[in-house]
Amino acid sequence: MTLDSPCTAIGVIRRHPDISILRTEEDVEQTALLQADILHNLWPQLKVGGYLLYVTCSILKQENVQQMQDFISHHSDAVAIEFSDDCNWGIEQAIGRQCLPIDSESGDGFYYALLHKTMA
């Protein structure tokens, strides 16, 4: 299952510069709460043994790695799966990988994390 989670879209700011004036700190907090609600409501729909790929187009830790850490701390049946060592995209995080929009050639900022549902 893939969750292309709603986010603040900070990772695509290069292509959408209006994001820098439209987003507020309150937006980030509200979006992170929405993401958490979606995750908590989606998780029971995933069968034991299933995988959930969590994706955002944000570079904010609150929407990404912190969101995953918080989720796992509340779900004993959720295990983060590391991407293979030969993975050549993004920067390894405590959970998942973060792609950064460093220049016009590197693309947008995205975050990916893979969770496995185990027996609780």
> How open is the CA angle 34-28-18, to the nearest 5 degrees?
120
Catalytic status, residue 7: no
Catalytic option among 7, 57, 87, 99: 57
Closest by alpha carbon to 2, among 45, 31, 37?
Answer: 45
State how far the alpha carbon of 107 is from the alpha carbons of 50, 58, 82, 90, in Å: 30, 13, 23, 11
Task: Phi first, then psi: give them for residue 108, nearest 5 degrees.
Answer: -90, 170
Distances in whole angstroms, Cα of residue 51 to Cα of each of 12, 25, 28, 42, 117: 26, 31, 26, 12, 6
Active site residues: 57
